[in-house]
Amino acid sequence: MKNKPLFLIIILSVIALGFSSCALFKGNKFKVNTSFTVYGDCEMCKERIETALDRKGINTAYWSLKDQKVFITYQSDIFTEEQLHNIVAMVGHDTDKVKADDIVYQNLPGCCHYRKEETEW
């Protein structure tokens, strides 16, 4: 049985290949694009929003200051769209569905205070 190790290596490679193509397929199957309104006021907001969304299960996240919108590609088997809204709201940014906690919002640097009612006071 001189060939046994070689045979084992081949079997293991086939199994590994099977797993990786499975993962690849899975990755595409659940990959979803979405965009929704996220309020912010400056480059620091952009950094804060994109950093909050920089996590496993989120492929790309881009926030546009001009559009007041975030564009996200994520894995729908890991996150729901509601969770994405919550992640952004948690760091102090209102979305079109979830309002950020007032205390978290108050603690943002002054330049990041995007809520209109506050600047009008």
| Cα–Cα distance, 33 to 72 (Å, whole number) | 6
Q: Which is nearer to Cu ion, 32 or 42 (CB)?
A: 42
Residue ranges of E strands in 1-121? 31-37, 58-64, 69-75
Q: Which is nearer to Cu ion, 74 or 114 (CB)?
A: 114
* Dihedral of alpha carbons 52, 112, 102, 76, sign: negative
CB of 54 to Cu ion, least distance (A): 17
Please report, as ranges, the residues that interact with Cu ion according to CB under 5 A. 41-42, 44-45, 112
CB of 109 to Cu ion, least distance (A): 7
CB of 88 to Cu ion, least distance (A): 13
Q: Which is nearer to Cu ion, 98 or 108 (CB)?
A: 108
Select the residue whose beta carbon is closest to Cu ion and give its number.
112
CA distances from 56 to 2, 30, 41, 61, 92 (A): 44, 14, 26, 12, 21
